[in-house]
Structure 1
Amino acid sequence: MSSKAGPIPVHVMSSFEDADTEETVTCLQMTLYHPGLLQTGIFQSIRFCHREKLSSSEVVKFGRNATICRYTFLDKQVSRVQFSLQPFKDFSSSVLSFEIKNMSKKTSLIVDSRELGYLNKTNLPYRCMVRFGDYQLLMEKEDGESLDFFETQFILSPRPLSQENICAATNPVPENGNCSTRSTSPTEMDENEA
């Protein structure tokens, strides 16, 4: 019994060749910590361990007001709009970057060691600590090819996200005790270097 396979029909080949290749999407992963998270439902409106796809033309707002903000913190200490993230494409890059802007008149936003006052903004590094009040957010960006969309993913941390804990949790500690960091990680600078 010989089975003789004929040629693949033309319509099957052309549909396969014409199919779009799926672009990878930039993902902004945010690990959240607040000391009172177990006693209150501060983060009950945020879906953890779930990727959400957003348009890169969207300005993503974080704060207390659910009608204005995509991600809300149910806490009177948080401003109606605390901060925003604006995706953009830099001239020298082929991937999405993000700009973070403090929208709160009453609370400074600290990005790593840089303090942003009301309406101040800065480019978000690939990995950084964002703090306001008792809130700590470790933001880490994973690059993708798409310029039309990006994803967010939230993780809840039961422990404070101090720089030492982040380094120990994400990087092996060599015998000399110094943590190694990626070349894209922000580094501390002397005030005179900025």
Structure 2
Amino acid sequence: MSVSQTLTTEETLTCLHIELYHPDQGTQPLYSQLRLSQSLKISAEDTVMLGRDGQTCQFVLNDMRVSRKQISIHAYRKPGSAAMRFSVQNISQKGKVLVSGSELGYLERADLHDKALLRFGRYELLIWTDPGEAQDCFEVLFEKQNTSPSRDLGMDVPCTLAMVDTGMRNYQSGGPVSQEPLESDETL
């Protein structure tokens, strides 16, 4: 007898690639709490949450300018399709998220297509998937990029044009303090 009839075949997992870029990533430990270049298995029912709060987000950015809960990514399938797809939701009450140029407000959601460029603050995330057959789980793989994905995609827009005015003002000069959202933590 060559192969047992009771062995289950191993399914390949869909891999959600998230390539991270920040212009200050070489001088600050922004990704010190992320497991870079290591794929992590996630249940398809679970949400991938990215933010600065390690209590609520399983993927943490070490940056006070990131909201405690910044974005969540959800897996789903369309009726009649076996392909796992993903959507992103802005869960920051104070910061805006740009998805391939379209702005998402608080709790707004957008489907992620073949390749999507997400921006919040000065972060750029290039997100894409490798398809797999498994229906109940997928992998997430975070990798650091040394160059701006928007530049690589030919969508290079200066950060000040891509950011949304958060409404913060420097009351001494009347002008904006920063183009980056800065969320205060009311528990401090």
- TM-score with structure 2 setting the length: 0.78
1:52: how far off?
0.7
Partner of 1:166: 153
Match of 1:73 among 58, 61, 65: 61
Q: Distance in 2 between matches of 1:92 and 1:35?
A: 42
1:74: how far off?
0.9
1:16-61 deviations in Å (ceiling 9; x for gaps): 2221111010000111000111111110011111111111110111
1:123: how far off?
1.1
Q: Distance in 1 between matches of 2:108 and 2:41?
A: 27
Percent identical = 32
1:115-161 deviations in Å (ceiling 9; x for gaps): 10011001111211010010000001111111111001111111111
Whether 1:143 aligns to 2:141 is no
Match of 1:43 among 13, 31, 56: 31
Alignment of structure 1 residues 20-59 onto 2, 5 Å: 20-59=8-47
Is 85-94 or 139-148 further displaced after alignment?
85-94
Higher helix share: 1
1:80-139 deviations in Å (ceiling 9; x for gaps): 100101111111421211111000111111110111001100111121101001000000
Structure 1: gaps spanning 5 or more residues: 1-7, 168-194
Q: Distance in 1 between matches of 2:6 and 2:69?
A: 44
Match of 1:112 among 100, 115, 123: 100
Match of 1:100 among 59, 76, 88: 88
Which residue identity does 2:63 align to in structure 1?
Answer: D
Q: Distance in 2 between matches of 1:64 and 1:53?
A: 21
Q: Distance in 2 between matches of 1:47 and 1:59?
A: 17
Query: How many matched pairs?
Result: 155
Q: CA contact under 8 A between 1:126 and 1:141: conserved in structure 2?
A: yes
Which residue identity does 1:166 align to in structure 2?
Answer: L
Q: CA contact under 8 A between 1:111 and 1:131: conserved in structure 2?
A: yes
SS at match of 2:118: strand
- TM-score with structure 1 setting the length: 0.76
Q: Distance in 2 between matches of 1:67 and 1:22?
A: 33
Query: Which structure has the larger Rg?
Result: 1
Whether 1:127 aligns to 2:136 is no
| CA RMSD between the two structures | 1.5
Structure 1 runs of 4+ off > 2 angstroms? none
Q: CA contact under 8 A between 1:95 and 1:146: conserved in structure 2?
A: no
